[in-house]
Structure 1
Amino acid sequence: MRGKVMLVTGAFGALGVAVVDMAIAEGAQVGAVDFAPRSQGTDGPGRFRQGGIDLSNPAQARQAVDAVVAHFGRLHVLINIAGGFSFEPIAEGDPKTWERLYAINVLTALNASRAAVPHLIASGAGRIVNIGAMGALQAGAGMGPYAASKAGVHRLTEALAAELKGKVTVNAVLPSTIDTPANRAGMPNADFTKWVTGDELAKVILFFASDAASAITGALLPVAGRV
């Protein structure tokens, strides 16, 4: 990753932190963007952060991308981690949950990608990596809103890969349950040893972002841990 400039959305969450730290350790420069309210600034060499960014808003997404490019001078990689989860049965659920998950899972990736594409093309080796979900391959009870929104991420990945073929690669990783403090708190009786760790998933994400993955585009790669 040495010499690459990356923009990571959802960068203040557990997976985002793992990806950002690993990328910087491998020599990348990273623009870290999140909805969480944290002031703009730098956290040591190679890291530029922006908090309070609503990527479901196209104008804010463009401003965030432009700020990273202004800071580092270029952009090679966009990693769309921003998103969210809700468990809600369809019959008893709130239609607004569907709208919210569509906004935070699909629109964030869409808006960030549209803003980043011109810069990624200009880099000559552009990469987009999205976060889908294994749960969107076959939805279970209570997974309707989440699975539908992540299925949207899968189709976005495929369509954008076709549109940008030969210019920018676009791939997605599809994790099962990620081992995070929030997931452990929400599922205290689960076997955490079977979950995929943040570092394991970060390695796969950074592979798709690397020169080694230049021949891969439109892939939806399950990362199932030990389930």
Structure 2
Amino acid sequence: MQGKILIVTGASGALGKVVVASALAKGAKVAAIDHAASAAQPTAERIELGGVDLTDATQARKAIDAAAAHFGRLDALVNIAGGFAFETAIEGDPKTWQRLYALNVLTALNASRSAIPHLTASSAGRIVNVGAMGAIQAGAGMGPYAASKAGVHRLTEALAAEWKGKITVNAVLPSTIDTAANRTSMPNADFSKWVRPEELAEVILFLASDAASAVTGALLPVLGRV
């Protein structure tokens, strides 16, 4: 990753923070985009773009164009921004389906559309999305989340086909990620079996690297020790 220019969305979240830190440690330069506000000053290695609603195509384009202008180019986009809700299909709020579609699919779509003109100018343009193993076979209460993440999977495949030979587009499909929020919501689970954010970050950054030049359209399971 030495010298690569990455954009990471959802950068202030549990996984986003780890991906940003790992990318910087590997010698990359990172534009960290998030819905949360940020007062951090830009440096030669990192710029934080806060207060960005990626469900809005105009805001997505402005943020990504600003990142590309700051660094002079863009090599990879890592789409981590998203959301989760646990509701049954019958008893849940219908608006949850719309909200999760916007948070998981539209954010990735808008960021990708905005980044592609910059990525095609790179010798090794990469897009890495975050899908979910829970979207392969949805369990009870997982309908809206699984449906939205299935949309991310199909978006990944479509973009990979449309930009084959110019940009690689892949997705990681983690099982439960070991975060503080997940530990709180599932206190009796065996945390040792879950995917650690650091492990998932390594897979994401591999797909964003030169080493993954022959991989595109892949939906890569990251199952931890389940």
Q: Over aligned residues, Cα RMSD in angstroms? A: 0.8
The residue aligned with 1:85 is 84
Flag structure 2 segments of 5+ consecutive residues without an equivalent.
none
Count residues with an aligned counterpart.
Answer: 226
1:10 equivalent to 2:13? Answer: no
Contact 1:8–1:78 (CA<8 Å) still a contact in 2?
yes
For residues 121 and 174 of structure 1, the distance between their equivalents in structure 2, rounded to whole angstroms, comes to 25
For residues 152 and 71 of structure 1, the distance between their equivalents in structure 2, rounded to whole angstroms, comes to 31
SS at match of 1:2: coil
**Letter of the structure 2 residue corresponding to residue 163 of structure 1:** E
For residues 41 and 97 of structure 2, the distance between their equivalents in structure 1, rounded to whole angstroms, comes to 34
For residues 186 and 44 of structure 2, the distance between their equivalents in structure 1, rounded to whole angstroms, comes to 37
For residues 51 and 186 of structure 1, the distance between their equivalents in structure 2, rounded to whole angstroms, comes to 27
Contact 1:10–1:82 (CA<8 Å) still a contact in 2?
yes
Contact 1:40–1:49 (CA<8 Å) still a contact in 2?
yes
How many Å apart are 1:36 and its aligned residue? 1.2
SS at match of 1:107: helix
Q: 1:71-82 maps to which residues of 2 (within 5 A)?
A: 71-82=70-81
The residue aligned with 2:114 is 115
**Letter of the structure 1 residue corresponding to residue 130 of structure 2:** I
How many Å apart are 1:124 and its aligned residue? 1.9
The residue aligned with 1:138 is 137
The residue aligned with 2:97 is 98
The residue aligned with 2:218 is 219
Q: 1:30-179 maps to which residues of 2 (within 5 A)?
A: 30-39=30-39, 41-42=41-42, 45-179=44-178
How many Å apart are 1:24 and its aligned residue? 0.4
**Letter of the structure 1 residue corresponding to residue 24 of structure 2:** I
How many Å apart are 1:14 and its aligned residue? 0.9
SS at match of 1:196: coil
How many Å apart are 1:38 and its aligned residue? 2.0
For residues 87 and 5 of structure 1, the distance between their equivalents in structure 2, rounded to whole angstroms, comes to 35
For residues 189 and 67 of structure 1, the distance between their equivalents in structure 2, rounded to whole angstroms, comes to 44
The residue aligned with 1:26 is 26
1:188 equivalent to 2:197? Answer: no
CA offsets, 1:10-32, max 9 Å, x none?
00011001100000000000000
How many Å apart are 1:70 and its aligned residue? 1.1
CA offsets, 1:163-189, max 9 Å, x none?
000000000000000001111111111
Under a length normalisation based on structure 2, what TM-score does the superposition of the two structures give? 0.98
How many Å apart are 1:45 and its aligned residue? 4.6
CA offsets, 1:175-208, max 9 Å, x none?
0000011111111111100000000000000000
- The share of aligned pairs that are identical, in percent, is 72
Under a length normalisation based on structure 1, what TM-score does the superposition of the two structures give? 0.98
How many Å apart are 1:41 and its aligned residue? 2.9
Aligned pair in 2 of structure 1 residues 111, 20: CA closer, same or farther (>3 Å)?
same
The runs of at least 4 consecutive aligned structure 1 residues that moved more than 3 Å come to none
**Letter of the structure 2 residue corresponding to residue 111 of structure 1:** N
For residues 51 and 139 of structure 2, the distance between their equivalents in structure 1, rounded to whole angstroms, comes to 33
For residues 2 and 80 of structure 2, the distance between their equivalents in structure 1, rounded to whole angstroms, comes to 21
Contact 1:41–1:50 (CA<8 Å) still a contact in 2?
no
